[in-house]
Amino acid sequence: MPRRVQLDGKPIVITGGGTGIGAATAKICAAAGMPVVLAGRRTEPLEATKASIEAAGGRAHIVSTDVTQGNHATEILDAGESVFGPAWAVFANAGRGLDRAGHTTTEEELRSIFEVNFFATHILLTEAAERMLGRREGGHLLACASCVSKFSPPYHGAYAASKAAQDLFCQAMRLELAPFGIFVSTIHPITTTTEFFDVSAQVSGRSTERTSVHLTPKFFRQSPEQVARSIFKCLRKPVPEVWTSTIVRITAAMRTLRPTLMDRQMKRMLDERSDVPGQGS
C-alpha cells in the first residue's frame, strides 16, 4: 500500500494548465502548498490561472509552449526546475478531441490526435521519469487517460484509441518504476464540462450548440473541480487508476465481459444524433 505523501513544497508540472481539469488541479495543489508549473499553448488562460493561484497565496510559474512542437518536455521541466526545483509530480493533461466517424477520419487527423494525446504525453512522462530516477527521491507521474480509454463511443474512435494507448503505456511504466519509488497513475474522468468539447466540435466541423456534453445525461457529467479533487486525493495517497464515476468504471469492466450489450447501449447514442460528422450533414 503506497504511503501517504506530504505534498507541501513539492513542485508539480501540469500541461493544459490554463483551463478545465488542468487549471482546477493547479489551484487545489497550490492551495495545499505545492508550487505549480503551468504549461500550455495559450498565454492568456495560463496567466489568469497563475493570477488566481497567487491571489490565494500560492506559487505558480507559466511556460507557454506547444506540446507537439520542438523539445517541449525539456523546455517545460527545465523551466520548472529553474524556478521551483525538480518536479515531484508531472500531470500530462494536455489533450485534443475529435468527433468523427472512423471511416471519414483522415490520416492527418489521426496522426494529429495521437501526436497530442499519446506522443506528447509520453515524451514528457519518460523524460520526467529519467530525471526522477537520477535523483533517486521518487516522484509521481499522472496522465489524463479518460474513461473512454477502456471503451469507445461512436464517432470518438480516434480519441478513444489515443487514450487507450496512453493508458496501456502507463500500465507498463507503473510496474517498471515502482521499485524506484515513482508512482504512475492514470486519470479516467467522465464527461467534464469544460471548453474541451467546444474545441473538439469546432475541429470536427460540428456546431458547439450540440456537443457530446449536450448528448450526455446530467448524472454522467461533472465539473473540473470534481475531477481535480480526485486527482489531489491520488497525489496524497497514490492509486493506479483514478475514476470519478463508479457506474462508468463498472460499465468499462462490463464492456470486456459483454461487448454485445455495450454495443446496444452505444447504439442509443447514435439514435439521438441528428448529424453524421464528416458526411456533409
**Per-residue confidence (pLDDT) for residue 277, from 0 to 100:** 45
* Structural domain contains residue 61: yes
Angle CA 266–166–204, to nearest 5 = 55
- Note down pLDDT in tens along the chain; length 281 residues: 467 899 999 999 999 999 999 999 999 999 999 999 999 999 999 999 999 999 999 999 999 999 988 899 999 999 999 999 999 999 999 888 887 788 988 999 999 999 999 999 999 999 999 999 999 999 999 999 988 888 877 888 899 999 999 999 999 999 999 999 999 999 999 875 544 444 444 554 554 454 454 455 454 568 889 999 999 999 999 999 999 888 888 877 877 777 776 676 666 666 555 554 444 33
CA distances (Å), origin 54, targets 34, 42, 47, 61, 177:
12, 19, 10, 10, 34
CATH number at residue 70: 3.40.50.720
Distance of CA 57 to the CA centre of its chain: 26
Predicted pLDDT at 273: 52
Could you give the CA distance from residue 183 to residue 89 in angstroms, rounded to a whole number?
9
Q: 141 in a domain, yes or no?
A: yes
- Look up residue 48 and give its amino acid: A
pLDDT at residue 155 in the model: 84
Please indicate, yes or no, if residue 5 is contained in any of the structural domains. Answer: no
The residue type found at 63 is V
Neighbours of 168 (CB within 10 A): 13
Q: Which residues contact 18 (CB under 8 A, 6 or more apart)?
A: 38, 40, 42, 44, 45, 46, 48, 49
What are the angstrom distances between the C-alpha of 84 and each of 79, 157, 257? 9, 39, 47
Location of C-alpha cell 457529467:
221
7: helix, strand or coil: coil
Q: Would strands 36-40 and 241-243 be described as parallel, antiparallel, or unpaired?
A: unpaired
For 57, left (φ over 0), alpha (ψ -120 to 50), or beta?
left
Specify if 277 maps to a domain: no
In a domain, 1, yes or no: no
Q: Distance between CA atoms of 65 and 38, rounded to whole angstroms?
A: 10
Q: Enumerate residues 6+ apart whose C-beta is below 8 A from 6.
A: none
| DSSP class of 278 | T
Backbone dihedral angles phi then psi of residue 173, each to the nearest 5 degrees: -60, -35
State the average pLDDT for the chain.
85
Domain assignment present for 279: no
Counted domains in the chain: 1
Are the C-beta atoms of residues 87 and 12 closer than 8 Å to each other?
A: yes
154 within domain boundaries = yes
Domain carrying residue 267: 12-271
113 within domain boundaries:
yes
